Amino acid sequence: MSPLTPLLLRGLAGPARRLLVPRAQVHSKPPREQIGTLDVAIALTSCFLCILVPAGWVLSNLESYKKRE
């Protein structure tokens, strides 16, 4: 590296430091209702089934998809 490299990098990074990035004003409150363990289990199970069942169907019938008809 040349001795000028740190100066060049500082010169490039200088204007970037002065940019103001707006911060989000997000305030949250405690939930009105607590979600139970059974509700969470049902929700996660249904999400996984909606994703994994079609993928399993395609993988189990892959040979029939490869055949030309």
List the domains of the chain with CATH numbers. Answer: 4-66 (4.10.81.10)
List alpha helices for the chain, DSSP H.
5-17, 37-60, 62-66
Tell me how far apart the alpha carbons of residues 51 and 57 are, in angstroms, rounded to a whole number: 11
| Per-residue b or e along 26-36, where b marks 16 or more CB atoms closer than 10 Å to that residue's CB | eeeeeeeeeee
Tell me how far apart the alpha carbons of residues 67 and 69 are, in angstroms, rounded to a whole number: 6
Per residue in 9-56, pLDDT (tens digit) is 776 666 666 667 787 788 888 888 999 999 999 999 999 999 999 999
pLDDT at 57: 94
**Can you read off the two tokens belonging to residue 24?**
């989000």
**Can you read off the two tokens belonging to residue 43?**
């929700």
In this prediction the pTM is 0.48
